[in-house]
Chains A and B, each alone.
Chain A
Amino acid sequence: EIVLTQSPGTLSLSPGERATLSCRASQSVSSSYLAWYQQKPGQAPRLLIYGASSRATGIPDRFSGSGSGTDFTLTISRLEPEDFAVYYCQQYGSPEGITFGPGTKVDIK
């Protein structure tokens, strides 16, 4: 099973600042089958990024994804008030099944 580790656990930033979230895999993620989700309290997760760097429909361009192999990054260029949430990475390329990272909480400093 591919284990995903996210860092930091919590990121405290102010609106307008840049957020950089990390996701590291225990083994290489095939063909960058890596996605990022945003989840707000009481809501279902929302797909932000798939294929490591492709934005899902309707996602603002302040969200960007990068990386390959075992190291991936989600960047939010300028935090808007609605971006404070928990972010999860997910790998979906392993025949053993899908796994999620433990999440990074982005909260207001």
Chain B
Amino acid sequence: EVQLVESGGGLVQPGRSLRLSCAASGFTFDDYAMHWVRQAPGKGLEWVSGISWNSGSIGYADSVKGRFTISRDNAKNSLYLQMNSLRAEDTALYYCAKVLPITMVQGRLGAFDIWGQGTMVTVSS
């Protein structure tokens, strides 16, 4: 079964850091670009960051640029999001998502055919 499982969320104070993980199974992880998408409570979807299969191409939303770092370990079938200098507005459910290969653009962008169930990050004092 193709699956993505996020972990690492929780309650954190403003200004602190958190590292999210996404464990992939059921597919050849290092064949695909991967992304993080978040959803604040009761709000819509917001793209956060994406990474190509070999980490050669990385992109971030302006709202997290300079604070968040995406990475992957293909040997461990895992995707990560290091979040520093967290703000209240970073409070959201964070999803990891896999790019559908036929939609791949510039080695990293694309539509997302597989999503995890998300891990909740709450930034509050």
Q: How large is the interface on A (under 10, 10 to 19, 20 to 34, 35 or more residues)?
A: 20 to 34
Contact with A along B108-125 (1 / 0, CB 8 A): 011111011110000000
A68 to chain B, nearest CB (A): 16
Query: Are B105 and A92 closer than 8 Å at their CB atoms?
Result: yes
Considering the chains assembled together, what is the distance between the CA atoms of A47 and B117 in angstroms? Answer: 14
Which candidate, B7-15, B42-50, B74-82, is the interface stretch facing chain A? B42-50
Contacts of A35 in B (CB 8 A): 103, 111-112
Query: Are A97 and B95 closer than 8 Å at their CB atoms?
Result: no
Q: Does A56 contact B (CB under 8 A)?
A: yes
Contact with B along A34-48 (1 / 0, CB 8 A): 010101000011110
A residues engaging B (CB < 8 A)? Answer: 1, 30, 33, 35, 37, 39, 44-47, 50-51, 56-57, 88, 90, 92-95, 97-103
